[in-house]
Amino acid sequence: MKNKKKIAIVTGAASGLGFELALLLAKDNYELFLVDVDATKLEGAKKDIEAQYATSIQLLHKDLSKPNVSEEIFLALEGKDVDVLINNAGFGIFGSFNDTDWLRDISMLNLHVLTTTHLTKLVLKGMVARGSGKILNMSSLAAFQPGPLMSLYYATKAYILSFSEAIANELKGTGVTVTCLCPGQTKTCFQEVVSNGAKASENKIKFNIACPKQVAEYGYDAMKKGKVVAVPGNFNKFLSKLPRFVPRRTATAIIRKIQEKNRDN
């Protein structure tokens, strides 16, 4: 009897880390369900993957910041078992919380918190029932401290980290693992959707910017090993631990200076 092909879902798969993670899954012969809000880039990603690997790819053009989109994705699977879920989609908003657009704020909260949580819940029941499955949630180095001028982004990434660690503990002994990837600055199109949806200038601080391919490989390997928290890069590991030794007020002030410097014209 022919072995059944494993199935993976990747959100935010049209570019950046999502695309690189999809490539790694294709290399390992997963059947892919790729989700993104950008239909054109999603089609391009499919062609690029198919040019390298012979695998089945289904495209789901979805706005993950909308209510009930998780159910739409789950229904599109038509009852198929999900072996890997990668909650990668996300964006940032720069500016004082008092000044940012509330509708844009809601979109990010829905995407980072509600969609990530709901999609995880929907696939998790089947994984636990089968006794196998892997979930990779995309957080950030931002999860380890407050972030003035990107307050909701930092807060939602902290939520993803806390949520992932908690359910990883709950799932011990089930055969299902949850990994939270927390990269630092990575060279992706993230900057294009910062600052209330308008294209922002590139970060002025160029130090410690990682290659998306290397970050994806690090996160993918951590997911396969069932590691709970994965912080790529020794300097980032150091930064993630710094808030334990520096007063939170000081850490918060430092982050504000960095944000101001990055967007200084």
Residues belonging to the active site: 153, 157
Measure CA of the first residue to CA of the last residue in the chain; give whole Å: 63
How far apart CA 86 and CA 23 sit, in angstroms, is: 13
> Helix (H, G, I), strand (E, B), or coil: what is residue 87?
strand
How far apart CA 140 and CA 156 sit, in angstroms, is: 10
DSSP structure class, residue 145: S
How far apart CA 101 and CA 141 sit, in angstroms, is: 24
State the Cα angle at 177 between 174 and 178, rounded to 5°: 135
DSSP structure class, residue 142: G
